Structure 1
Amino acid sequence: MSKDILGKALLDYHNLEYTEDIITYSSLDEEDQLPLPYMFRNFKQMPILEQVALGHCKGTVLDVGCGAGNHSLYLQGKGFEVTGLDASVGAISVCKQRGLLKTIHTDFLRLDGQKYDTLLLLMNGIGITGKLKNLDTYLNQMKRLLQPNGQVLLDSSDILYMYESDEEDGGYWIPQHVDYYGEVTFTMRYKNEESEPFDWLYVDFNTLKRAATFNGLNCEMVKQGESDDYLARLTFL
């Protein structure tokens, strides 16, 4: 992410220099597009899980991986004290230009000294953990940043369906080198510039719940999506 591909693309769109979308390549042998207009969607254009999550926010909010600031700006408009956090310089610049009052440019694990009532990790924000083995580290960082009665709202997906076998007997085919089927490596390309590969985690609800319990957190399903996705709420036990 050192080239800040996402940040450059967001800045281009915000500055009315939109000519193409981000192309993503994944270890699942898939090529896909990340449409830049979608990164600037309003509340009505958001998926239902995001709308529900925003409706469950309370108190002071930290929007982790805030991107162009859609969720933060919506909450700010509703009177919340919200801070947008992102590791992308370009994303934070866009948030400021769009009117977000509080921003932090840093890696999530480096944040220290602040506490919030709600940690918001949408658009599969838990993906920043990269690997399942890192989940404990990130859950404990969430605990450090939460007020005693605080909550974490996050959405993710169970992507086991992507490994369905074409054989008549069904089943799933998962490569032996994969420790957990939800671990995916991505590369992004934008305007002939390519990012370094980065790891991204999709975690099924039961695995998340086991990890949360192990780390002293309660995990509840807030809403099940229609495409193996879900919205979860973490609180202190």
Structure 2
Amino acid sequence: MKDLFGRAILDYQTNNQPENLITETTISEEDEMDVSYLFRKYSDMPQIEQKALSLARGTVLDIGCGAGSHSLYLQNELNLTTTAIDISNNAIKACVLRGIKDARVQDFMTLQNEKYDTILLLMNGTGICGKLKKLPEFLQQLRSLLNPGGQILIDSSDIIYMFDEDEDGGKWIPSDNDYYGEITFNISYKGEKEKPLDWLYLDYNTLQNVAFANGLKSELILEGEHYDYLARLSI
């Protein structure tokens, strides 16, 4: 990986001529993303993110922290002990520059011997999983990182609305994927292209069923205006 997403974050943080990220997926056209959005304050965050942050308690693990805006709020405004992790070396450099006390380059799937009261996966947290078939392993790893009585706060969207309907009201879904929420994400920055990334959008019922099969209780906390939702998983 070229870490273009992280490079854009670090360029913005260090005022190094940041440009918009160009994103494209298997089901959507090319789009521009303003990097400043990743640096938003609590007041500018969507309701689902605000709700998740208000529910955080105890020691917190922020997985896929990006520019660290969620962790900063938890650390500075709520005085919660927060660990921010991301696989992006550049993003973590930006997090450290922003003042996050515990920011690490870390793939959460390899994290061991640590326990948390709250685990956060926001901005389509299920995306990190990549493929539906990996979901049981993904959830088992999250479960292993929870303290007794702990919680996982995760958001996603049901993207079924993006597919065309036939005359009977059914959906035309390409047969390439095992599940319609599996997409490929492409990112470009300053003329360079990143290696394609598997990304998973997950409908709530599927999350609930797979969570139950892996020893986790699921609770629908909040539904957004555009097929998105926040869920809480617990043992």
Normalization by structure 1: what TM-score?
0.96
Q: Which residue of 2 aligns with 1:199?
A: 198
Call closer, same or farther: CA 1:150–1:186 in 2, change over 3 Å.
same
Correspondence list, 1:34-183, <5 A: 34-77=33-76, 78-165=78-165, 167-183=166-182
Tell me the amino acid that sits aligned with residue 116 of structure 1: Y
Distance 1:158 1:209 in 2: 13
In the alignment of these two chains, the number of paired residues is: 234
Identity %: 51
* Superposition CA RMSD, Å: 1.0
Deviates more, 1:184-193 or 1:22-31: 22-31
Distance 2:85 2:192 in 1: 24
Distance 2:231 2:196 in 1: 28
Aligned structure 1 segments of 4 or more residues deviating by more than 6 angstroms: none
Deviates more, 1:22-31 or 1:143-152: 22-31
Work out whether residues 8 and 18 of structure 2, in 8 Å CA contact, stay in contact via their aligned partners in 1.
Answer: no
Work out whether residues 118 and 151 of structure 2, in 8 Å CA contact, stay in contact via their aligned partners in 1.
Answer: yes
Distance 1:169 1:35 in 2: 40
Cα deviations by residue, 1:166-190 (Å, 9 ceiling, x for unpaired): x554431101112100001011000
Tell me the amino acid that sits aligned with residue 147 of structure 1: N
Distance 1:198 1:164 in 2: 24
Cα deviations by residue, 1:69-102 (Å, 9 ceiling, x for unpaired): 0000000012000000000001100000000000
Secondary structure in 2 aligned to 1:164?
coil
Distance 2:67 2:122 in 1: 13
Distance 1:233 1:64 in 2: 15
Distance 2:10 2:120 in 1: 23
> Is 1:189 the equivalent of 2:181?
no
Q: Structure 1: which 5+ residue stretches go unaligned?
A: none
Tell me the amino acid that sits aligned with residue 210 of structure 1: N
Secondary structure in 2 aligned to 1:79?
coil
Q: Structure 2: which 5+ residue stretches go unaligned?
A: none
